[in-house]
A and B are shown apart, each in its own frame.
Chain A
Amino acid sequence: MRLNTETIVEKALLLVALSALMSLLLIAVFIFKEGVPFMVKVGPGAFLFSSEWEPQNGLYGIFPMIIASIWVTLGAMLVGAPLGIAGAVFLNEFVPRGVMRVVKPAIELLAGIPSVVYGFIGVMVLAPLIRAHLGGPGLSVLAAAVILGVMILPTVMSIATDAINAVPNSYREGALALGATRWQAVHMVVVKAARSGIIAGVILGMGRAIGETMAVIMVAGNAVRAPGSPLDSVRTLTANIALEMGYASGMHRQALFATGIVLFLFIMVLNSIAMAAMRTRAGGR
Chain B
Amino acid sequence: MEHPATHAIPRLQVRNLNLHYGHFHALINVGMDVEDRRITALIGPSGCGKSTLLRSLNRMNDLIPGVRITGEVRIDGVDIYAPGTDVCALRARTGMVFQRPNPFPLSVYDNVVFGLRVAGVRGKETLDAAVERSLRAAWLWDNLKDNLYGSALALPLDQQQRLCVARLMAIEPEVILMDEPCSALDPIATAKIEELMLELKKQYTIIIVTHNMQQAARMSDHAGCMLLGEMIEFDGTQRMFTNPRDERTQDYISGRYG
Contact = CB atoms under 8 A, between A and B. Distances in A.
A175 interface: yes
B257 interface: no
Interface stretch (A67-75, A256-264, A265-273, A276-284): A276-284
Contacts of B115: 178-180
Interface stretch (A1-9, A121-129, A140-148, A188-196): A188-196
Contacts of A178: 91-92, 95, 114-115, 118, 167-168, 171
A174 interface: yes
A174 B114 CA distance: 10
B162 to A, nearest CB: 14
A174 B118 contact: no
Interface string B225-254: 000000000000000000000000000000
A175 B63 CA distance: 13
Given A177-B95, A178-B114, A184-B118, A283 B63 contact: no
B29 interface: no
Interface string B74-104: 0000000000000011011001101010111
Given A170-B102, A179-B118, A285 B88 contact: no
11 contacts: A174-B102, A174-B167, A177-B60, A177-B95, A178-B115, A178-B168, A179-B92, A180-B118, A189-B104, A283-B154, A284-B106
Contact of A175 (B104, B149, B151, B152): B104
B69 interface: no
Contacts of B164: 174
B4 interface: no
- Range class of the A interface residue count: 20 to 34
B150 A173 contact: no
Interface of B: 58, 60, 63, 88-89, 91-92, 95-96, 98, 100, 102-107, 114-115, 117-119, 149-154, 164, 167-168, 171
A57 interface: no
A262 to B, nearest CB: 37
B100 A170 contact: yes
A284 B104 contact: no
Given A174-B104, A281-B153, A283-B153, A179 B60 contact: no
Contact of A170 (B95, B98, B151): B98
A23 interface: no
A285 B107 contact: yes
A175 B114 contact: yes
